[in-house]
Amino acid sequence: MHVPDGFFNAVTSISAGVVAAAGVAVCLRGARRELDDRTAPMAGLVAAFIFAVQMLNFPVAAGTSGHLMGGALAAILVGPYTGVLCMAVVLLVQSVFFADGGLTALGVNITIMGIVTVLAGWGVFRLVTRVAGGKVAVAAFLAALVSVPAAALVFTLLFWIGGTAPIEVGTVAAAMGGVHLLIGVGEGLITAVTVGAVLAVRPDLVYGARGLTRPLLLRDAEGTTTTTTATAGTTATAGTTATTDTTATAGAAASAIEGAGKPVGGRGPLRPFLLGGAGVTLVLAGLVSFVASSSPDGLEAVAENEGFIDRATGHLFGEWALADYGEVGGIPVGVAGIIGVGLVLLVAGAVAHAARSRDTSRDTSRDTSRDTSRDTSRDATLDQPRDQVRDDTQGRAHGETRA
């Protein structure tokens, strides 16, 4: 998938480079929030892991084999910001040191394989975990499944806009999407099992699963059962037969932590991420398609062909061709692109809003516990011994005795 030099014209390469640089800059700030001063070693090691995993070939069918892209996996395991950062560094190292992917195509590569796969994967993952609850494996599978064809389609789109070969965008998109959907199944399977394997051993490491784990049941020698919520430290006990004062104090402590944690909010980190995503899309749609109109060669050929397709297959492509014919000459393509992106954002926003409002109405407690767990775990990583976060049961037992 690594794009070499000469695939895209200079203007597209540079615009994609600008998009990639902006994305990486946003993620540098975001990753500092996710990992604070641990960013350099942690992201470096995770990047090395992704590089190694990309070397892991898995057999697809009769003789052919594929390898992971790892964007969705990185997003789920270490969070979207760090994920983009790791992918960008992997691509940078591959391009500069291993000559895998052209230097001038670095922007395109980072945009497609870093930003798009992580954005698509993380978006799907969040959507599925919110709507369907704690099915992390399913969400991971779908996220990886979607991320691969998404990258392939963005590649096709970019190639249509600024590629150096004339292609039929419809057929190429269909072919690329189809093939990569198959690859995506493999990627999805591996990602889901990998995430599952990590969850089984160290659930606290899976960024995407924070706050989604089932409450832990603690049974002690007298047969008292204590239910704890979520992860790390917070011991909101809803014990059935636990001694009353323990529950009361522990509950108070938990609510105090919740109260303290809430204003900081778990929603905070999501907003710049969404804004960044929207910005990247708008720049791509507006700026890059402006560039496209200045290179009539590829576009004309495609427009001609769109007409061809229109006549051949009729309705499905009819609207597309019409839109293209109407606008290539008159309205600037960039404006059309931005309008299109706006429409898509509107629809996606409506869907997301519907999904979210249903989610919050159904279950608010889970949401708050998710927020606090993330905050406390982040605080804990700052100065307390990491063991407390690492060893869940121990941490909770500790909390119990203290209470």
Contact segment (CB under 8 A) with another protein among 201-209, 216-224, 278-286, 364-372 equals: 201-209
Q: Is 137 in the site for another protein (CB under 8 A)?
A: no
Nearer Cβ to another protein (154/192):
192
Count other Cβ atoms within 10 Å, centred on residue 176: 20
Contact segment (CB under 8 A) with another protein among 47-55, 221-229, 251-259, 349-357 equals: 47-55
Residues 302, 368: Cα–Cα separation, whole Å: 51
Instruction: Indicate which single residue of 19, 20, 69, 90 sits in contact with another protein (rule: CB under 8 A).
Output: 90
- Amino acid identity, residue 283? V
Is residue 147 within 8 Å of residue 278, measured between CB atoms? no
Residues 339, 350: Cα–Cα separation, whole Å: 17
Instruction: Indicate which single residue of 18, 22, 131, 205 sits in contact with another protein (rule: CB under 8 A).
Output: 205
Is residue 215 within 8 Å of residue 196, measured between CB atoms? no
Q: Is 44 in the site for another protein (CB under 8 A)?
A: yes
Q: How far is the CB of 4 from another protein (least distance, A)?
A: 4
Q: Is 330 in the site for another protein (CB under 8 A)?
A: no
Instruction: Indicate which single residue of 150, 190, 283, 333 sits in contact with another protein (rule: CB under 8 A).
Output: 190
Q: Is 104 in the site for another protein (CB under 8 A)?
A: yes
Nearer Cβ to another protein (92/146):
92
Nearer Cβ to another protein (9/368):
9
- Range 295-324, binding another protein (CB under 8 A): 301, 305
Q: Is 197 in the site for another protein (CB under 8 A)?
A: yes
Residues 250, 403: Cα–Cα separation, whole Å: 6
Is residue 274 within 8 Å of residue 126, measured between CB atoms? no
- Amino acid identity, residue 23? G
Instruction: Indicate which single residue of 96, 179, 316, 346 sits in contact with another protein (rule: CB under 8 A).
Output: 96
Nearer Cβ to another protein (44/326):
44
Q: Is 350 in the site for another protein (CB under 8 A)?
A: no
Q: Is 198 in the site for another protein (CB under 8 A)?
A: yes
Q: How far is the CB of 66 from another protein (least distance, A)?
A: 10
Count other Cβ atoms within 10 Å, centred on residue 129: 22
The single residue listed with the structure tokens 């606008």 is 327
Q: Is 383 in the site for another protein (CB under 8 A)?
A: no
Q: Is 178 in the site for another protein (CB under 8 A)?
A: no
Contact segment (CB under 8 A) with another protein among 188-196, 260-268, 273-281, 395-403 equals: 188-196
Q: Is 357 in the site for another protein (CB under 8 A)?
A: no
Contact segment (CB under 8 A) with another protein among 53-61, 246-254, 287-295, 341-349 equals: 53-61
Instruction: Indicate which single residue of 195, 230, 283, 285 sits in contact with another protein (rule: CB under 8 A).
Output: 195
Q: Is 345 in the site for another protein (CB under 8 A)?
A: no
Number of residues that bind another protein (CB under 8 A): 74
Instruction: Indicate which single residue of 20, 26, 72, 85 sits in contact with another protein (rule: CB under 8 A).
Output: 85
Q: Is 46 in the site for another protein (CB under 8 A)?
A: yes
Q: Is 326 in the site for another protein (CB under 8 A)?
A: no
Q: Is 403 in the site for another protein (CB under 8 A)?
A: no
Angle between the N-to-C axes of helices 71-78 and 80-98, in degrees from 0 to 180, rounded to the nearest 10: 140
Q: Is 59 in the site for another protein (CB under 8 A)?
A: yes
Q: Is 138 in the site for another protein (CB under 8 A)?
A: no
Q: Is 164 in the site for another protein (CB under 8 A)?
A: yes
Residues 347, 332: Cα–Cα separation, whole Å: 23
Residues 334, 326: Cα–Cα separation, whole Å: 14
